[in-house]
Amino acid sequence: MSSKLRYPSEKDLENNRLLGIIEGASAKTIFNLTSGAFLVGLLKTMGASDAFCGYILAIPVLAAGAQVFSPIVLESLESRKRIIVIGSMLHRLLLVSLIATPFLPVSPDTRLIIATIIFLISNVANSFVNPAISNMYVSFVPQNIRGRYFGRRESYLLLVATFVTLIVGRILDNFTAAGKELNGHIVVYSFIFFFTIVNSLSYMLMKEVPLRHTNTRLKLSDVFTRPLKDRRFILYFIMLIIYNFGVQIANAYYSVYLKSDLNMSYTFINILNLLNAILYVFSASRWGRFADRRGWATTTMLTVGILGICHCTWFFCSEQSILLIPLLVMCHILGGIAWSGINVSLFNLQFDFTPDKNRTMYIGFSAAISGVLGYLAAMVGAQLVSRFGQNKILFLGAFFDIKQILFLTSGLLLLICSIYIFFFMKNTKTKKTKKANEEEDSSMP
């Protein structure tokens, strides 16, 4: 326990949990406005192809590799809030600067390269501090209320982010209809700058909880060897690799497919997102309560399985289908139900499979390696999209777009991941967790 940092009072912890919701809502809003259809739209105004958009959208996964180096610095720090504030602010201010790239007096290709570099550095900064952010949030929330708190937090995050995204999407549609799409993106990035300020202030107002730290810095070799000696952690690590590969092989192309292949407007896309958000909000707190009763492994197993079914359903969404709209609606319903549980359960599951000591090392290692493999999966997807382009593929007696094949592949891999959890991880609400509960309860002021 630190001798310099005072343990926050219960009132301070309550304020931290409230600030955690505000921080998360602003971060979620910024993410929505700098990813998916919004980012694709900005890149398209600079002349980017579908394949190039796929590479860019997969960069956050590649940037997760920076988490390998996080423990070397973070585990020896007594106070981690300052580096969290710096990393998060750098991440979001760089995202804001993306709006300047279309106006640079250079060639279109050079603008795209500059945008890529900015986006990469931004996400590396965010990934570097992510293990510390995860540890900090868990320190605010006792084990016995984590399911309820994080479930409710997810609901609030999505409510705010979806409301803002709908308004901003409508504004962007109006500018696009008037032939001034780039001006619309300037408005979008004005919103992003505002929420960047809100996000930074939220972090600054939090009262840091003293956490275990080492007096000597870890070696890079420790980061790669120690986690692999923990059998329990290996179970989680294998699951994360399957999950990331399954998600990332097609993740960049749902927004691209809606915008470029199905020719959907921003408004219609945001209506689908609203439907997704309603189911997300409805389900998040329920998944949280379910996790408190049945454990994070069971919750992850079910929600990943539902997401697998969702991605398989995307396979049948073609422009010629008379069921296109009902299928898209079903995809967004299933996606809302699935992601509301996955975002809560995957975050908390890592704490069931990692020891308290040097935890950022385990979190950083798993996120980095599985993230890099996920990026390789995204590159496979991007190469296939680039190679086949608009050419149709004969599959099961019918012709499909390459993106549809990727959606099916993603769905099947996620179903395999769910089955893996059932056989190897489901019964893992263990003595370690109970012991952790007792330790956390005894450490409360």
Say how far apart CA 233 and CA 231 lie, in whole Å: 5
At 214 the pLDDT is 59
Residue 399, helix vs strand vs coil: strand
At 2 the pLDDT is 43
At 216 the pLDDT is 66
Say how far apart CA 79 and CA 94 lie, in whole Å: 25
Q: Is residue 4 one of the residues assigned to a domain?
A: no
At 432 the pLDDT is 46
DSSP letters spanning 371-391? HHHHHHHHHHHHHHHHHHTT-
Name which of 149, 110, 122, 105 is nearest 39 in CA terms: 122
At 205 the pLDDT is 94
Hey, which residues does 393 pair with through a beta bridge? 400
Q: Which residues contact 347 (CB under 8 A, 6 or more apart)?
A: 134, 150
Domain residues for the domain of 167 are: 10-431
In the numeric block, which tokens belong to residue 158? 């999505």
Supply φ then ψ for residue 221, to 5 degrees: -65, -35
The domain total for the chain is: 1
Q: Is residue 443 one of the residues assigned to a domain?
A: no
Q: Is residue 395 within a helix (H) or strand (E), and if so which, with residue range?
A: strand 393-395
Beta carbons of 349 and 297 less than 8 angstroms apart: yes
Q: Is residue 371 one of the residues assigned to a domain?
A: yes
At 54 the pLDDT is 78
Q: Is residue 17 one of the residues assigned to a domain?
A: yes
Q: Low-confidence residues of the chain, pLDDT below 70?
A: 1-5, 76, 211-217, 427-445
Could you read off the pLDDT of 16-68 as tens digits, one per residue?
Answer: 999 999 999 999 999 999 988 899 889 999 998 877 887 888 788 788 878 87
Q: Is residue 194 one of the residues assigned to a domain?
A: yes
Torsional sign, CA 60, 65, 66, 72: positive
Could you read off the pLDDT of 85-103 as tens digits, one per residue?
Answer: 999 999 999 999 999 999 9
CATH (domain of 106)? 1.20.1250.20
Q: Is residue 445 one of the residues assigned to a domain?
A: no
Q: Is residue 274 one of the residues assigned to a domain?
A: yes
Q: Is residue 3 one of the residues assigned to a domain?
A: no
295 Rama class: left (phi>0) / alpha (psi -120 to 50) / beta: left
DSSP letters spanning 56-67? HHTHHHHHGGGG
Say how far apart CA 334 and CA 31 lie, in whole Å: 21
At 442 the pLDDT is 40
